[in-house]
Chains A and B, each alone.
Chain A
């Protein structure tokens, strides 16, 4: 999976980068074409303006010359009017044209035109000045030299050059724009094709990836299912093993009981017989003291009764132990009946039943508010917590007032009930031992067979739970009973 993901990631990233690059290129092309279009527009505007200005200049020079000619012919100053106006306006035209050519290859042409126009105007001024001075012939002779005409022709040529140059500029820009436009068109088409390819490629990759993901998730689901199956199998195995152990305990305790009945029975018979013998020995001793030896009297009065007493106390104890095993095995055979249980009520009931003991030692049992309830077997829960709380009360530390606190917390479908006390505590080495049958911990100053916690653990397991202990010697003890929130009714093993 990680390899696949990285490959997909790399390929996908590459495709995305290519797509982005394509878009950037197409964008740059568009911007470039925009600038070209703008340049074309400017060139067009400039060329038109130059045309107009150049035309105006031509007209003004023509006007100036026309005015000069009319004046020289007629001598009438009224003819000088166009000349006077035009010479002023020609300067205007210069001023307007100059910035448009500054820094361009055509600037020398303009400079030359301005020079020629200046020269022409100087020539005109000179002839008019001669005429005004009365030297009519000299003025006409000056015109006749054709200098003025040549200058005019030069000026016309230069103006045409400028217009031509501006027109060339337009053509150039238009050419540029056309080229850029077609280049952009090609780039756009190519870009689109690339994007389509990339999208398709990415689509394929995503589809492949999705399919792989689906396959993987199906595999995970399958694994989960088989895991569940395995857990169920194991649980079934475990339950079977548990049943076998309980069956074993049941059979063993029964089979142990049978000989015990004999031991006890014949011990009783021995006692009865012993009584008869004691009576006889007493009678014989009273009648013939010499017939009863010291040994016989000791045997009858001390040794035999003592032996019978030990046999009796041992068999009684053995009977208790066997009964404990039997009880334990019987618990495993009881059919569980899950029902919703108000745990606050259950703990309250246990605390009430222990009120007598707690009051006697000044202990206090507190139950957490809003204790969560669960669905389980009431009797078993009563036995589990009854035992635990009973133990807590039983093994308090006399040096401080007893505090027993019951709380609960939820954890993923399970509930953990905690019985905590500030009693005498359990040494760490005994933490496992206390759950074993017939084993006890600490000072043996309280009655008991060492059955309670073994029983509690068996019952907790029966409910699908776990019991753990945390304790520090001399500080207190905390039992945690971890139970499923809902107990599912199992099929029970029957009969012995």
Chain B
């Protein structure tokens, strides 16, 4: 059973409030009006995700930053992919790191898409808008 794009909840794990704000703004500009839940640390993110299974019936899509103060994004990715239910939720890694090994590692761990945040803001907002377009067409499985 799949959910329509509108009902998908986007969980954004991002410690930088500015980034989070800019990402959200640009997603909105791209016409993505889904609910965006912003978690400011890895711990908060995991807590929400593992509780959301019962509290939030919507399917989840996860936007993940790798450089978090309390844990690395790859730790979170590992935990998600080890979970029976959460492992099907698409994970989009959106981070400043463009190291090839890091990218490989994330795909090895099962991330769906890896996007490097461009420092140049025009490119950044362009990337987020394209991500928004992408989000509007993909199918997300429902987390049971």
Query: Do the two shown chains form a genuine complex with each other?
Result: yes
Return chain B residues, CB-CB under 8 Å to A330: 99
Least CB distance from A312 to B in Å reads 9
Evaluate whether A261 and B101 lie within 8 angstroms (CB atoms) in the complex, with A254-B96, A255-B67 already known. Answer: no
When chains A and B are docked, how far (Å) is the Cα of A260 from the Cα of B22? 13
Please determine whether A258 and B99 come into contact, CB atoms closer than 8 angstroms.
no
A221 within 8 A of B: no
Please determine whether A319 and B120 come into contact, CB atoms closer than 8 angstroms.
yes
Q: Which of A11-19, A265-273, A358-366 contacts B (4 or more CB under 8 A)?
A: A265-273
Please determine whether A265 and B124 come into contact, CB atoms closer than 8 angstroms.
yes
A-side interface residues toward B, CB under 8 Å? 254-255, 257-262, 264-269, 319, 322, 330, 333, 494-496
Return chain A residues, CB-CB under 8 Å to B144: none
Identify which of B19, B99, B102 contacts A261 (C-beta below 8 A): B19
Identify which of A265, A494, A496 contacts B97 (C-beta below 8 A): A496
B119 within 8 A of A: yes
Return chain A residues, CB-CB under 8 Å to B19: 258, 261-262, 265
Please determine whether B18 and A261 come into contact, CB atoms closer than 8 angstroms.
yes
Please determine whether A319 and B119 come into contact, CB atoms closer than 8 angstroms.
yes
Please determine whether A265 and B18 come into contact, CB atoms closer than 8 angstroms.
yes
Q: Which of B102, B105, B121 has the most CB of A within 10 A?
A: B121
Please determine whether B121 and A265 come into contact, CB atoms closer than 8 angstroms.
yes
Least CB distance from B113 to A in Å reads 19
Least CB distance from A297 to B in Å reads 28
Please determine whether B121 and A496 come into contact, CB atoms closer than 8 angstroms.
no
Please determine whether A258 and B16 come into contact, CB atoms closer than 8 angstroms.
yes
Evaluate whether A264 and B97 lie within 8 angstroms (CB atoms) in the complex, with A258-B16, A269-B25, A495-B102 already known. Answer: no
Contacting residues of chain B (98-144) with chain A, CB-CB under 8 angstroms: 99, 101-102, 105, 117, 119-122, 124-125
Evaluate whether A262 and B102 lie within 8 angstroms (CB atoms) in the complex, with A255-B67, A269-B25, A496-B97 already known. Answer: no
Please determine whether A258 and B120 come into contact, CB atoms closer than 8 angstroms.
no
Please determine whether B16 and A264 come into contact, CB atoms closer than 8 angstroms.
no
Evaluate whether A264 and B101 lie within 8 angstroms (CB atoms) in the complex, with A254-B67, A258-B19, A258-B67 already known. Answer: no
Return chain B residues, CB-CB under 8 Å to A333: 99
Least CB distance from B73 to A in Å reads 12
Return chain B residues, CB-CB under 8 Å to A261: 16, 18-19, 22, 96, 117, 119, 121, 124
Please determine whether B67 and A264 come into contact, CB atoms closer than 8 angstroms.
no
Given contacts A254-B97, A255-B67, 7 further A-B pairs with CB under 8 A are A258-B67, A259-B18, A261-B22, A262-B19, A264-B120, A266-B18, A266-B22
Least CB separation from B122: chain A residue? A268
Least CB distance from A148 to B in Å reads 147
Chain A contact residues, majority secondary structure: helix
List 30 A–B pairs whose Cβ atoms lie within 8 Å, in order of A's numbering: A254-B97, A255-B67, A257-B96, A257-B119, A258-B19, A259-B16, A259-B18, A261-B121, A261-B124, A262-B16, A262-B22, A264-B120, A264-B124, A265-B18, A265-B19, A265-B124, A265-B125, A266-B18, A266-B22, A268-B121, A268-B122, A269-B22, A269-B25, A319-B120, A322-B119, A330-B99, A495-B102, A495-B105, A496-B97, A496-B102
Please determine whether B119 and A264 come into contact, CB atoms closer than 8 angstroms.
yes
Return chain B residues, CB-CB under 8 Å to A267: 121
Least CB separation from A267: chain B residue? B121
Return chain B residues, CB-CB under 8 Å to A269: 22, 25
Q: Which 7 A-B pairs have the closest CB atoms?
A: A262-B18, A264-B121, A265-B22, A268-B121, A265-B121, A257-B96, A319-B119
Return chain A residues, CB-CB under 8 Å to B120: 264, 319
Please determine whether B18 and A495 come into contact, CB atoms closer than 8 angstroms.
no
Least CB distance from B29 to A in Å reads 10
Return chain B residues, CB-CB under 8 Å to A268: 121-122, 125
When chains A and B are docked, how far (Å) is the Cα of A494 from the Cα of B101? 8
When chains A and B are docked, how far (Å) is the Cα of A52 from the Cα of B5? 158
Return chain B residues, CB-CB under 8 Å to A494: 101
Return chain A residues, CB-CB under 8 Å to B99: 330, 333, 495-496
Return chain A residues, CB-CB under 8 Å to B96: 254, 257-258, 261
Return chain A residues, CB-CB under 8 Å to B18: 259, 261-262, 265-266
When chains A and B are docked, how far (Å) is the Cα of A177 from the Cα of B125? 128
Least CB distance from A258 to B in Å reads 5
When chains A and B are docked, how far (Å) is the Cα of A267 from the Cα of B22? 11
Return chain A residues, CB-CB under 8 Å to B25: 269
When chains A and B are docked, how far (Å) is the Cα of A322 from the Cα of B119? 10
When chains A and B are docked, how far (Å) is the Cα of A257 from the Cα of B97? 10
Least CB separation from A260: chain B residue? B119
Least CB distance from A379 to B in Å reads 15
Least CB distance from A232 to B in Å reads 27
Return chain B residues, CB-CB under 8 Å to A262: 16, 18-19, 22
Return chain B residues, CB-CB under 8 Å to A258: 16, 19, 67, 96
When chains A and B are docked, how far (Å) is the Cα of A322 from the Cα of B99? 15
